[in-house]
Chain A
């Protein structure tokens, strides 16, 4: 069975600073990896996904993530954080080649200081 670990429960950064959110996964085959963002009172919105090919994936809102098989990681990055990026971020791994069997990490809460 697959699993996802997000080691950082809460991260605080200043507006304009760079951001990296960590995600480690465990899965026996090629993983299907996702990052979702959840704003207060909202559902989860897909930021980006990785299935195959280029290991650096671009997403919406200026986010990117890099798949590193050797480290079993799929870290999310943004070069310059905006106040509107404050939210909770979830990494997820899918099995079976679809989103139907997603396992979510526990989430990282991002606070952005002015």
Chain B
């Protein structure tokens, strides 16, 4: 079990650029979550998918943020255009979706927007 895999681990970009974060959930997990972690706001749920379908995107901060899950083994979180206040650590997590199943987190992508 390779765990949840996120790439890149670190991303530095300039304001206005497009940023794409990637996530591969654990095989067999049918729910996938994107979280953002900052000092000021802690861990925030941005969006989650069940069986590749977005279920709740109420945490997505602005239209500049979008997420897709084209298949069961891949998801992206895109920010376009990026802004300095988007600097944070972005975590992807997955779960088998069974009742009472906990989240399995990736190691995160640290995004810095200058």
The secondary structure that dominates the A interface is: mixed
Interface residues on B, range: 20 to 34
Q: A106 CA to B103 CA in the complex, in Å?
A: 17
Interface centre among B55, B97, B99, B106 (most CB of A within 10 A): B99
Q: Is the CB of B91 within 8 A of A43?
A: yes
Partner-binding segment picked from A21-29, A61-69, A72-80, A93-101: A93-101
Q: A44 CA to B108 CA in the complex, in Å?
A: 9
The distance from the CB of A76 to the nearest CB of chain B, in whole angstroms, is 15
Q: A41 CA to B109 CA in the complex, in Å?
A: 9
The distance from the CB of B102 to the nearest CB of chain A, in whole angstroms, is 5
Is the CB of B71 closer than 8 A to any CB of chain A? no
Interchain CB contact (< 8 A) of B43 among A42, A49, A90: A90
Contact residues in B for A97 (Cβ distance below 8 Å): 99-100
Q: Is the CB of B107 within 8 A of A100?
A: no
Q: Is the CB of B102 within 8 A of A34?
A: yes
A99 and B95 contact, Cβ closer than 8 Å, known pairs A32-B100, A51-B100: yes
Contact residues in B for A57 (Cβ distance below 8 Å): none
Is the CB of B48 closer than 8 A to any CB of chain A? yes
**What are the interface flags for A34-46 relative to B under an 8 Å C-beta threshold, 1 for contact and 0 otherwise?**
1010000111111
- B91 to A, closest residue via Cβ: A43
Interface size on A, residues (CB 8 A): 22
The distance from the CB of A1 to the nearest CB of chain B, in whole angstroms, is 12
Q: Is the CB of A44 within 8 A of B99?
A: no
Q: A51 CA to B102 CA in the complex, in Å?
A: 11
Q: Which residues of B in the span 55-102 have a Cβ within 8 Å of any Cβ on A? A: 55-56, 91, 93, 95, 97, 99-102
Interchain CB contact (< 8 A) of B42 among A41, A42, A45, A106: A106
Q: What are 6 A-B residue pairs whose CB atoms fall within 8 Å in the complex?
A: A32-B100, A98-B97, A98-B100, A99-B100, A99-B102, A104-B43
A residues near B (Cβ < 8 Å) are: 32, 34, 36, 41-46, 49, 51, 90, 97-102, 104-107
B residues near A (Cβ < 8 Å) are: 4, 31, 33, 42-43, 45, 48, 50, 55-56, 91, 93, 95, 97, 99-108
